[in-house]
């Protein structure tokens, strides 16, 4: 008993220091102010999966590519049809045919004559006006040898500043003719003449290119 008492007397300072140290650690662990520990106090990689409550994180908490993509879901139902849009403003009214732009169309004329020399006439309207007067060429044989009208009946073409008339086979007529005074920047009038009594006709296609 005397030995224990003597040991305690010799080691009182040491036991006091140990008591104070233990009491301080307990205080620090149990008396931290609320919200006093933040990202600066946590060491890198100190928080592991076991420290995180299950189902407490959301996709926004992860970097792009960290989470695997889920399976593709089923196709959704077709949505309702949208409302009809408002009518837009009217476009510009056709004016002068732009240079290099080509318009195409078809033409036909026919008649019944009591004899030769009778006339049947018709007209072609372009829908646009050319910037200046043009030259009119008639192509009646194919392939065309006219350098200004190198197209065909099914694909008429014209060089800039030209109107090209592509004429198909004739029937009892001398073919396409026109009066120079009836040629306008927006169209032209033409006629055919019967070669003999009976039905007479011809037709074809046309093209005009702006100048």
| pLDDT tens digit sequence for 27-73 | 444 556 676 666 666 777 767 777 677 777 777 777 777 777 778 88
Residue 121: is its pLDDT beyond 80?
yes
Query: In Å, how far are 76, 86, 132, 147 from 186, measured between CA atoms?
Result: 55, 34, 10, 23
- What are 10's two structure tokens? 């010799």
CB 211 within 8 A of CB 187: no
Query: In Å, how far are 92, 93, 164, 169, 172 from 202, measured between CA atoms?
Result: 36, 33, 16, 7, 9
* Residue 153 confidence class, pLDDT cut points 50, 70, 90: very high
* Residue 113 confidence class, pLDDT cut points 50, 70, 90: very high
pTM score, whole prediction? 0.56
- Domain boundaries, given as residue ranges, for the chain: 102-209
- What are 53's two structure tokens? 């409550």
Mean pLDDT of 104-125: 95
């Amino acid at each position: 008993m005397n030995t224990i008492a003597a040991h305690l007397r010799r080691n009182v300072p040491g036991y006091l220091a140990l008591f104070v140290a233990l009491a301080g650690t307990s205080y620090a662990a149990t008396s931290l102010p609320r919200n006093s520990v933040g990202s600066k106090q946590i060491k890198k990689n100190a928080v592991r999966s076991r420290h995180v409550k299950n189902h407490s994180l959301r996709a926004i908490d992860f970097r792009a590519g960290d989470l695997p993509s889920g399976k593709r879901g089923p196709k959704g139902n077709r949505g309702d049809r949208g409302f009809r849009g408002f009518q837009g403003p009217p476009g510009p009214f056709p004016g002068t045919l732009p240079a290099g732009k080509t318009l195409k169309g078809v033409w036909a004329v026919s008649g019944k004559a009591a004899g030769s020399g009778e006339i049947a006439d018709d007209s072609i309207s372009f829908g646009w006006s050319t910037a200046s007067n043009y030259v009119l060429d008639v192509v009646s044989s194919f392939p065309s040898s006219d350098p200004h009208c190198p197209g065909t009946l099914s694909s008429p073409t014209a060089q800039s500043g030209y109107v090209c008339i592509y004429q198909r086979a004739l029937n009892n007529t001398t073919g396409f003719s026109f009066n120079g005074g009836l040629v306008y920047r927006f169209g032209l009038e033409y006629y055919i003449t019967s070669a003999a009594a009976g039905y007479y006709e011809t037709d074809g296609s046309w093209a005009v290119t702006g100048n």
